[in-house]
Structure 1
Amino acid sequence: MTPSDHIPLSVLQNASEFTERHLGPDLPQQNQMLEALGLQHLAQLIDQTVPESIRLSQPLALADGKSEAQVLEYLGEVASKNQVNKSYIGSGYYNCRVPNVILRNVLENPGWYTAYTPYQPEIAQGRLEALLNFQQMVMDLTGMDLANASLLDEATAAAEAMALCKRANRKKSNLFLVDDQVHPQTIDVVKTRAEYFGFEVMVGDLDSLLDQQEAFGVLMQYPGTTGAICDIEALIAKAKAQKAMSCVATDLLALVSLKAPGELGADVVFGSAQRFGVPMGFGGPHAAFFATTEKQKRAIPGRMIGVSIDSRGNQALRMAMQTREQHIRREKATSNICTAQALLANMAGFYAIYHGPEGLKRIADRVHRLASILASGLQAAGAELVNNSWFDTLALKTSDQQRILQRGYAAGVNLRPVGDDQIGISLDETTTAADVEQLWELLLGADHGQDLDAIDLTISQGQQDGIPAELRRTSEFLTHPVFNSYHSETEMLRYLKRLENKDFSLTHGMIPLGSCTMKLNASAQMIPLSWPQFANIHPFAPRDQVQGYMQLIDELEAMLVEVTGYDKVSMQPNSGAQGEYAGLLAIRKYQESIGEGHRDICLIPSSAHGTNPASAAMAAMKVVVVECDELGNVDIDDLKAQAEAHKDDLSCLMITYPSTHGVYEEGIKQICDIVHDNGGQVYMDGANMNAQVGLSKPGLIGSDVSHLNLHKTFAIPHGGGGPGMGPIGVKSHLAPFLPNHAVSPIEGPLASMGAVSATPFGSASILTISWAYCALLGAQGLQKSTEVAILNANYLTEKLSAHYPILYRGRNDRVAHECIVDIRPLKEASGISEEDIAKRLMDFGFHAPTMSFPVAGTLMVEPTESESKAELDRFIEAMLTIREEIRQVQEGELDADNNPLKNAPHTQADIVEGDWDRPYSREQAVFPVPSLKHSKFWPSSNRIDNVYGDRNFVCSCPSIDEYR
């Protein structure tokens, strides 16, 4: 090698290697797409697309991108700073064992974690069955009539239960009673939510409170937070006597042994499914469950999976009543739920399937037996227990709380401080006899003198039991065959694979959902989730034990501050809708602090997400709609008129940027100025940040607060309908009004600020994903991702626009990161609807774009930066082939009602039927383009009848005979 041939080491290392792998189109493909747009350079497209007034003058002040090996090595060092103590803290969070067959084939499997919410049920039957199993599991264990497919966490589920009680109860009272045995983080979130609903929350001994107060609803914990198993049947009866509805927070493993709340008269039952095989992860993500009575089926919050039929009359599953409440009711909504916890609900359901009823009984009996052994030994040694009943949790009275806690920390054990004079101890499925011996030593001293085997023999003879006889469960549960068929790993593995094969995910092809940003979730970003130093940390572990987590959170906050131009970020909101709510609370509390708490008008463009007006309603704001012009932009004249008309009461504007119509509004800075000039704040919805990162910053445009969808822009996978994360960035004047936390306070926000989620940092374990995404891409990679997302969207727009009307375009006829295809003229001419096109795309191996949002009768397409030119061309080919089929319908070459579009999607059952009597060929039905003969995703169901499903409302597992 001559000196002139020498290649520098820096070039060989290739710091941009990950960026090149993250981006779908390579440089030659980018150039081909630019040529199709009549451009030579990507910079030209950005100049034509993004208004100069909002462009950054300097690149992001972030480090260069790292290699996957470097990032994982660094994260390993960060993780090592977390101290994984044996946790007995409990309070709704427990150590558990994740069955390896579920860990490897669900949590770590992109076939499960990269799918989208099952709004297109024909290609989501596997996920839907798994969620239906979850619902059945919850119904069986709670004894309730129906359950939903999960909520965000136990505390927010409590807030939803309170709201349900109010809207389902005609009683005029605004008082909600909460027993003091409810988990403290739940009380914190309930109080936060209640304030702007205008509810009064009173906490104390529920029995006494019911003697003194008239309430619309009551909340109790079963077992209580310190372990007591109280007679909730009497409390429920007392509440019913005054027409108050009863909400019961509970624990699924405890319900294996305890009488179901539904048998005791409860109206609503909820809790966390975390201990059913989902790691603690310093707070999440975990699925909350929520169950209620048949009477409340129209009032239940969140998503429900229901049974319907397809066009062949075969049983099929779908999201029942799937138009979410916030889209129906908007500013009249009582909930803004968007994200659920589908991936974690599926894991919990699979845990129940894997163990079955007998396996769960063995686990529950063992946990309770060890708790009883521990209790008996403590009592024999003279220790005083707070309660004389328990399932897995004991509370010990002590005058030496801090010394005992410190002794535990030194031994690698975390106990729970309760008040100033109690120690809480919660056992779980990982607890062993040796652990009980260690606990005696910590609590009683090395010479405790207790004989575990002798005590165990006494307990086995029935001489001591922590569960009152009248509250022992006698009813059967999990009797459906699905919970009694897959207990060997072979059978479980095959069942998981069978369900996975029914579902379309990013492992199959592009999911071009506008406003949902279904981009690559790189494997390297997902790996740390399973590391015990991140997975096995209790959310209320002492802060000096979680230095790794705190470092990661601080570093991610610094990255997001730089990306957004804000001054402070709160990681607490665990969904985009929660982020909206927390942001609006910050605005309201700030305005109250400066004597302007009367400001309650929220201006919202007519094109906004349904969660925007719903969140405003939950913050006690009055929504005033601002019109959009014919180009899809906010009508600035109307905005100015509305802002000036309401200037004395204007609280804020909620706006999405780029707009929900997929364009960069030229007047965005003027829009922000108008609101500020009239005394309001600007809330910028972060749904479309994938078109801003590295090019612009909401905090510099003029916004005061935004939520960031980490499950969109920052690569946390959608998990088939959740998890999500919605942290909020704020300017400095709003920073004191970010959420705090009663159990684990956060430095910075005012102590008076309540929590919006159950844990201080939301679903903390998945923050590792977004940290890794930013670290891998670095400043240049983040900007290039945004630029390529814009390129991909404009290339698609250019290729489709010759055949389909594109509804809105911005400057120079360009779009941002998504485009809206207008199907209304085609439907008028041919009878073919946007739904027909969506279903037909399944035959080509694509998930549908977003249907009828933000404009009815349209398809919103967002390719993201992760899709290659080849995949974009495949989508274009599909859309052009469909357009030709529409032409054939228009001109009578295909029957108006019996054609490939109206009959889509086509399944394997269609092509094997004996008599093919359709006026088009089987080949056109299932192989409309030749490439599908080499690789074909088969929908597992024909088109599903939504009307039938709503008229015949069934949300439980059907008989196994119906599957056959």
Structure 2
Amino acid sequence: MSNVFYQEKFQDRHNGPRAEEVQEMLSYLGVQSLDQLIEQAVPSQIRLKKSLALPAALSEQAYLAKIQRIADKNKVFKSYIGQGYYDVTVPAVIQRNVLENPGWYTQYTPYQAEIAQGRLQALLNFQTAVSDLTGLEIANASLLDEATAAAEAMFMLYSARKNKTANVFLVTPNIYPQTLDVLQTRAVPFGVEIRVADLGEQNLTEDIFAALIQYPAADGTITDYTNFATAAHDKNIMVCAVADLMSLALLTPPGEWGADVVVGNSQRFGVPMGFGGPHAAFFATKEAYKRNIPGRIIGVTSDASGNYALRMALQTREQHIRRDKASSNICTAQALLAIMASFYAVYHGPQGVKNIATRINDLTKLLNKALQELGYEQINKTYFDTLRIVVGDQAGALKAEALNNELNFFYQEGIVGISLDETTTFEDVETIVKVFAKIKGKSWNDVELRGLANQLESSIPSEAVRTSPYLTHPVFNSYHSESEMLRYIKSLEAKDLSLCHSMIPLGSCTMKLNATTEMLPLTWAHFGGLHPFAPADQTSGYMQLINELNDWLSEITGFAKMSFQPNSGAQGEYAGLMVIRAYHESRGEGHRNVCLIPASAHGTNPASASMAGLKVVVVKCDAYGNIDVADLRAKAQEHAASLNSLMVTYPSTHGVFEESIIEICEIVHQNGGQVYMDGANMNAQVGLTSPGFIGADVCHLNLHKTFCIPHGGGGPGMGPIGVAAHLVPFLPNHEIVEISGEQGISAVSAAPFGSASILTISYAYIAMMGGDGLTDATKTAILNANYIKARLESHYPVLYAGANGRCAHEMILDCRTFKSVGIEVGDIAKRLMDYGFHAPTVSFPVAGTLMVEPTESESKAELDRFCEALIAIRSEIAAIETGEIDQKENVLKHAPHTAEIVSADEWNRPYSRQTAAYPLPYVKLNKFWPSVGRVNDSQGDRTLICSCPPMEEYAEA
């Protein structure tokens, strides 16, 4: 038969097992077909009766042709809009070797420190750069965006306030609108009053707990806030500054004039605008707040041999431990973008960064001089990069001429704002001058720009000029040639295990293939170069992509509409709960404030509920790990008058399709509540069932899990929410770009469509898989999980299973019995590193267990290697159980084993070097060496060092 109609299917590249491997696994499970397995695993009452109505799957080549046509619809003009977003030059060595490199973008959050030292060092560099530039002692490893970072600061200062009756957050009127929008959203549930008023000492009243300053101000002006900060502190009012990181190379850092917290965005440090994201926000504060600071902190400690080592510090603040008492619901950060920003600082160094900042400022001063020569009034007497030009009734003509020259300015009632950036050249300034000259009826030749360049005067007031050094650590002063920078990047990459090396079998985290074709358009200029507030007629490509993705995800989830604004899963949870809140208020039922949450829920669930101002009531789970329906019914009826919602994960966090889920939804609805479904486990639903079909009202999707956006070492993520028709009017709006109706809640993130550029990845995945391909991926994920379960359950008890003994897409291995011989689940996690694997999820949702999720992307050969590793480790534990091996001196307790340890002259351990380093034959073929031995967690928390220390100082500490 002719092959003329043959077309290669992308799904055959995405799904790991080949057809013959699928049959081998099905035979091992004792079933005849994949559909028979699905019938056993997925309850019949929730299975969809029709296929997904999605466009036919495209080949990789056809997809790239289509996405190129879409990209071409975006018009990338020179952007001088500013407002917190700026064009940048991404150093090619960083773009190629970090942003476009799966060795960096497929890593997981660095919970397993011994195989994450590279990205931990890069993040420590980020913290150090932020601390240096802001003038504060401690910084975290990034937050989601500038606006949400400001909101996190507000909440931290509110929680830490000395006057517990104070509930006013004083905000400068000179703030970016999107930041004020998000602050107002976050303030509502806690009864915090956002008071927008001038930052004068006369406005520092007793009811204020903190004040927020934009620095430089939103209009570009620079003010010395030393006296204001002193006056505020005298009245026990704390001060938060939202700062431009690039400007701090020239301006007095806020920490020096009295700020308690400094937040902002590191986007200017080599991260593309991307129509709004992803970008790494920063958060710096005084050491006094080190146990209050939201997000992750990377800290210095040592390993078992006393060597320098890094880890995530103070992890007891994580949501899965503190739950509704957590200081934040932040789960993912923007690690990959923080890493890029840190490498930007390393590559340029202190002098390079200062040169860039000075050049931006000098070109701004030159433009100011030229426009004044043309007869324009420029309002800003002080500035770093932003001018405001009075144009009056000529604004329309000026805008038209600017657009003719492909220039975007910021327009505001007869005033034009122009913000220059790193990419601005002398020739760009000439073009701007030509536009303004034409409106005046003059020739641009009337202005002698080169002559004016020699007449520039300072635009920064003397009291605001920075005098303190920054980026003094050797790491920022050693790698300025591309050769050295390339080697430094690669040296850190080599310390980290990623999907380049082996499967990462993390339950609830879905570490699947991030296909190269999906990733390619991400760095195209027509996606990366757009400002989020660019005129609508310049963004039609993005809008086509977003609208089509909305339709596809609505079909997949069974909902009426999506909001793409939430830029993480936790943000999606919060946004969904705030939408439910607005819905109840619209019906005169704003008093509904009780949220039912199963005991097995993700830790972000109760944290998000608390942030939304809800009272958490825990619902029991039965002996099989399922929601106790009787307990749910009793609590729903008990709180019927005030029931707001139920937060439920499906399949459950225990890896089971609960049979009673439809009944559960009905109980909540009967008692006046709404059902919020956590979409973390959507990878087991797509094409087989859907949140809307089951009965949920709102669900967030972790696009960085089910829909192939890579985890990036701990972010970026995207957490869009889908809602049923009755909730559509309440989806998040935005102060600058209207995207919802009058009833829409205010913004939950800084940009209208969140981290828009990475939506290209999920769009690609769905376009190339098609409806049938997505469904087959779900089935394969369930097959792979059940195959692992079958292979391991005679070695490790599997805690929970469905009615037919099948799991969903993940399972929990019980390791608690090994405690009797001194082996903890953490020992197994560390020993897996010697076998070349990242550990499954440790001690969640049940302490002392491993939660395993293989995803559909792993081949049978890789699944078998993983199973063989765990079976071999079980044999090592058995030797301890029989007394053959000592409970303290054994291969698990000493794991992981570094090359330095194994190759040392002295070896006095009761097992061989071969056992330590090459426990199975396959390990010899592709050995991944942990770069440090077991990390000392408690030492790191006792002596918190979270910026780059000179080695001699660290040794003394």
What does 1:267-666 correspond to in 2, within 5 Å?
267-399=260-392, 400-418=394-412, 420-445=413-438, 446-448=442-444, 449-459=446-456, 464-666=457-659
Counterpart CA distance in 2 for 1:953 and 1:337 is: 21
- Do residues 782 (structure 1) and 779 (structure 2) align? no
Aligned-residue offset at 1:915:
1.9
* In structure 2, C-alpha distance between the alignment counterparts of 1:691 and 1:36, rounded to whole Å: 21
Residue ranges of structure 1 left out of the alignment (5+ in a row): 1-5
What are the equivalent positions in structure 2 for 1:603-752 lying under 5 Å apart? Answer: 603-746=596-739, 748-750=740-742
Between the aligned residues of both structures, percent identity stands at 59
Structure 2 partner of 1:9? 4
For residues 466-510 of structure 1, the C-alpha deviation after alignment (integer angstroms, 9 at most, x for no partner) is 111111111111110000000000000000000000000000001
**Structure 1 Cα separation of the partners of residues 480 and 19 of structure 2:** 50
Deviation, structure 1 residue 833: 1.0
TM-score by length of 1: 0.97
Change (3 A) 1:62 1:681: same
1:962 & 1:187 partners in 2: Cα distance? 42
Aligned partners of 1:204 and 1:382: how far apart in 2? 33
Task: Give the match's secondary structure for 1:216.
Answer: strand
The residue number in structure 1 matching 2:920 is 929
Gaps of 5+ in 2: none
Aligned residues of 2:317 and 2:327 also touching (Cα < 8 A)? no
Distance 1:751 1:444, change over 3 A: farther
Aligned-partner residue type, residue 2 of structure 2: I
The change in CA–CA distance for 1:846 and 1:211 in structure 2 (over 3 A counts) is closer
CA offset digits 1:144-192 (Å, max 9, x no partner): 0010000000000000010111111121210001001111110110011
**What letter is aligned with 2:261?**
V
- State the distance in 2 between where 1:679 and 1:284 align: 37
Alignment match, 1:3: none
Secondary structure, counterpart of 1:9 in structure 2: coil
In structure 2, which of residues 854, 866, 872 is the aligned counterpart of residue 863 of structure 1? 854
Which deviates the most, 657-666 or 818-827? Answer: 818-827
User: In the aligned structure 2, how far is the partner of 1:212 from the partner of 1:591?
Assistant: 34
Per the alignment, residue 948 of structure 2 pairs with: 957
Check if 1:62 corresponds to 2:57: no
Q: Distance in 1 between matches of 2:381 and 2:464?
A: 14
Distance 1:914 1:309 in 2: 22
Question: 1:567-613, CA deviations, whole angstroms, 9 ceiling, x for partnerless residues?
Answer: 00000000000000000000000000011111110000000011101
CA-atom RMSD, angstroms?
1.2
CA shift digits 1:928-954 (9 cap, x unpaired): 001111110000010001000000110
Q: Confirm or deny that 1:191 pairs with 2:184.
A: yes
Q: Which residue of 2 aligns with 1:888?
A: 879
CA distance in 1, matches of 2:704, 2:610: 25
Alignment correspondent of 2:211: 218
Aligned amino acid, residue 865 of structure 2: R
Q: Which amino acid aligns with 2:401?
A: R
Task: From the superposition, tell whether residues 209 and 610 of structure 1 become closer, same or farther in structure 2 (CA, over 3 Å).
Answer: farther
Partner of 2:144: 152
Which residue of 2 is the match for residue 822 of structure 1?
Answer: 814
Partner residue in 1 for 2:244: 251
Partners of 1:72 and 1:716 lie apart in 2 by 17
Provide Cα deviations, 1:881-911, integer angstroms capped at 9, x if missing partner: 0000000001111111010101000001111
Distance in 2 separating the partners of 1:640 and 1:149: 42
SS in 2 for 1:648: helix
Q: Is the 8 A contact 2:14 2:857 kept in 1?
A: yes
Contact 1:210 1:239 in 2 (8 A): no
3-state SS of paired residue (2:315): coil
Contact 1:333 1:618 in 2 (8 A): no
Residue by residue over 1:109-168, the C-alpha shift from the partner in whole angstroms, topping out at 9 and shown as x without a partner, is 000000000000000000000000000000110110010000000000000010111111
The one-letter code of the counterpart of 1:816 is A
Counterpart of 1:87? 79
Deviation at 1:876, TM superposition (A): 0.7
Contact 1:65 1:778 in 2 (8 A): yes
Q: 1:204 Cα shift?
A: 2.6
Q: CA deviation at 1:335?
A: 1.5
Query: 2:929 maps to which residue?
Result: 938
What do the CA deviations read for 1:190-237 (whole angstroms, capped 9, x no partner)? 011001111000113222662556410110111111110011222212
**Residue aligning to 2:223:** 230
The alignment status of 1:840 with 2:836, answered yes or no, reads no
SS of the counterpart of 1:813? Answer: coil
Whole-Å separation in 2 of the counterparts to 1:323 and 1:790: 33
| 2:35 is the alignment partner of 1:43 | yes
SS of the residue aligned with 2:644?
strand
Counterpart contact for 1:334–1:617, Cα < 8 Å: no
Q: Which moved more, 1:709-718 or 1:354-363?
A: 354-363
SS of 2:745's equivalent in the other structure is: coil
Give the Cα–Cα distance (whole angstroms) in 2 for the partners of residues 884 and 8 of structure 1.
51
Task: Name the amino acid aligned to 1:951.
Answer: R
Measure the CA separation in 2 of the matches of 1:811 and 1:396: 70
User: Is 1:916 paired with 2:907?
Assistant: yes
2-structure distance, mates of 1:319, 1:907: 20
The one-letter code of the counterpart of 1:147 is: A
The alpha carbon displacement at 1:752 in A equals 5.4
| Alignment size in residue pairs | 949
Query: Which letter maps to 2:189?
Result: Y
The structural deviation recorded for 1:380 is 2.9
Please identify, of 56-65 and 565-574, the stretch whose mean Cα deviation from structure 2 is larger. 56-65
How far the C-alpha of 1:961 sits from its partner, in A, is: 5.6
Change (3 A) 1:411 1:239: same
Query: Which digits, 9 at most, give the CA deviation of each residue in 1:331-373, with x for residues without a partner?
Result: 2334200110000000000001101111111111111000001
Corresponding residue of 1:31: 23
Equivalent residue for 1:179? Answer: 172
Distance 1:417 1:192 in 2: 26
* Paired AA for residue 756 in structure 1: V
SS of residue paired to 1:629: coil
Change (3 A) 1:708 1:663: same
- Quickly say closer, same or farther: Cα 1:309–1:212, change in 2 above 3 A: closer
Q: For 1:158-169, what aligned pairs fall within 5 Å after superposition? A: 158-169=150-161
Q: State the Cα distance separating 1:963 from its structure 2 match.
A: 9.6
**Residue aligned with 1:13, SS:** coil
Give yes or no for the alignment of 1:126 onto 2:118: yes
Higher mean alpha-carbon deviation, 750-759 vs 526-535, is at 750-759
Give 3-state SS (helix, strand or coil) of 2:883's partner: coil
Q: Deviations over 1:450-475 (max 9, x none)?
A: 2111111111xxxx111111111111
> In structure 2, the residue corresponding to 1:901 is in which secondary structure?
coil
Alpha carbons 1:481, 1:960 under 8 Å: kept: no
Rate the CA distance shift 1:214–1:294 in 2: closer, same or farther, 3 A: same
Code of the aligned partner of 1:85 = F
CA distance in 1, matches of 2:895, 2:463: 56
Greater shift, 369-378 or 149-158, is seen at: 369-378
DSSP 3-state at the match of 2:200: helix
Q: In 1, Cα distance between the equivalents of 2:714 and 2:396? A: 43
